[in-house]
Amino acid sequence: MTPIHELLSRIRWDPAFGRGDFVLGYWDRIADEVVRVPLSDVRVEPGNHFALDILDVDGCCHSVPYHRVVEVWRDGVPIWRRPAPPR
């Protein structure tokens, strides 16, 4: 399985692969569910190999560890997925 940080780099730097509408799903421990956000709402800080920042619907920024990212969709089709944590 491709590590999530490598997939995000490929989306960013590979012009052919990076075309499309990407959605990232992460495990929200409080809501106890997978939350999907457009990749345009995700910020990857250079040098931060632990977490990425996600803007929620209220415009608040949340730091989400890479290990809680569980799926990536491209144009409505899942292209990357790992099992969600057990409930």
Does residue 71 belong to any structural domain of this protein?
Answer: yes
- Residue 64 pLDDT > 80, yes or no? yes
Write the pLDDT tens digit of every residue in 9-51. Answer: 999 999 999 999 999 999 988 889 999 999 999 998 888 889 9
Look at residue 86 and tell me whether its pLDDT is greater than 80: no
d(CA 68, CA 57): 19
| 50 is a domain residue | yes
Domain that holds residue 45: 4-81
- For residue 70, tell me if it sits in a domain: yes
Is pTM beyond 0.85 here? Answer: yes
87 assigned to some structural domain = no
Q: How far apart are CA 63 and CA 29, in angstroms?
A: 13
What's the CATH number where 52 sits? Answer: 2.30.30
Position 11 in a domain = yes
Greater pLDDT, 85 or 5: 5
Residue pair 25/35 in contact (Cβ under 8 Å)? The answer is: yes
Q: Which tokens hold the place of 19?
A: 């075309």
18 falls within a domain? yes
CA distance 47 to 71: 22
